[in-house]
Amino acid sequence: MLSRRLQGMLGYARPLGLALSRPSFLRCALRVAAEALRSFFLPQFENALLRLRPVVNVDHPLDAAIPFDPSRVKKYLEFVQLWIATFYRLWRFYGRAAGRDIVDFLEAIRRLYAETGSVYRTVHTTTTRPAKNYNLRFAVIHAVDPHLDCVPSLHVILVVANWLLASEIVRRRGVDRARGFGAGQADLWVRSLRDEAVAITESVLYVKQHSVNCVGASLYYLKRRFPAFGDEEADAFVRDLFVAGSAGLEAAGEIRRVILDVCSAMDRVYALRPGRGWREPILEFIRGFARRGTEPSRIAVRAQSRI
């Protein structure tokens, strides 16, 4: 069994202290924070105020089959804490020898914000979410997230990428050279990161912050960004969704199928014209919703009133 010390989610104090203690880490951390503001928060608030770009609703009918579960909001909000804890633990496990790897890890996180932001600054996407603040956590979400950056889901991308990036570092550095691990525990830690990615991906659907369409589009992006995350790995990840702790979700199999169908459809579009880059299939997907002639804001208001 992986020890509670490794399983549990870290707070922010120790990672922050580590970042402040090493200039290279601090520079990277500040770049991540600046990129999050520039590529995720600023485009949303700018558009909410000035309406510079179109907003497209990307709901799928199957979203209604997933019950709204406010208790999942705590897990939903752990996505930043998850990769920050990984940053800290990689240092604890490998020390100075992994300094370059950790800098690259932080730079990869920054790049995820930048690349998804290149979609958000072109067109905004939204889904139907409850307007009511069920608790303080929902109040915070509604205050800081205008809910205009849904495709691709940065939430899903960050937690899956966190697992993939840590896996590569552990593979390269060696499971037996990690300080504080017993035999085989490095592998268990990496697997726990995957488990967290699965749980947080489920949570974005249970708290109605994303659609199944968003998850499929995010996995497509991850396959372009990470060669180790191929068809087999993506399929296995989706098969694990709504398995543990989701008893009674009758549409689970159909939800998994739709997620994979969306991902595969984008794969096919990309394969036809790879020279146009990874963004074009996502933008084409969004344009498909826009061409249906729906009015996203009215749809969202009507649906919210029923929740």
CA torsion 83→85→91→94, rounded to 10°? -90
Within a 10 A sphere around the Cβ of 82, how many other Cβ atoms?
20
Find the mean pLDDT for residues 92-109.
Answer: 94
Average pLDDT score over the chain = 89
Find the mean pLDDT for residues 254-279.
Answer: 97
Find the mean pLDDT for residues 106-126.
Answer: 97
- Residue 179 three-state SS: coil
Is the pLDDT reported for residue 4 higher than 60? no
For the stretch 234-250, pLDDT in tens is 999 999 999 987 667 88
| pTM for the model | 0.90
In the numeric block, the tokens 């699965």 are attached to 198
- Ordered by start, the domain boundaries in the chain are 4-306
Asked if 105 contacts 165 with a C-beta cutoff of 8 angstroms, the reply is yes
Residues 6+ apart with CB under 8 A from 219: 156, 160, 234, 237, 238, 259, 263
In the numeric block, the tokens 């968003």 are attached to 214
Cα of 55 vs its chain's centroid, Å: 20
Distance in angstroms (rounded) separating the CA atoms of residues 264 and 243? 22
Within a 10 A sphere around the Cβ of 11, how many other Cβ atoms?
12
For the stretch 142-159, pLDDT in tens is 999 999 999 999 999 999
Among the residue ranges 32-46, 170-184, 228-242, the one predicted with the least confidence is 170-184
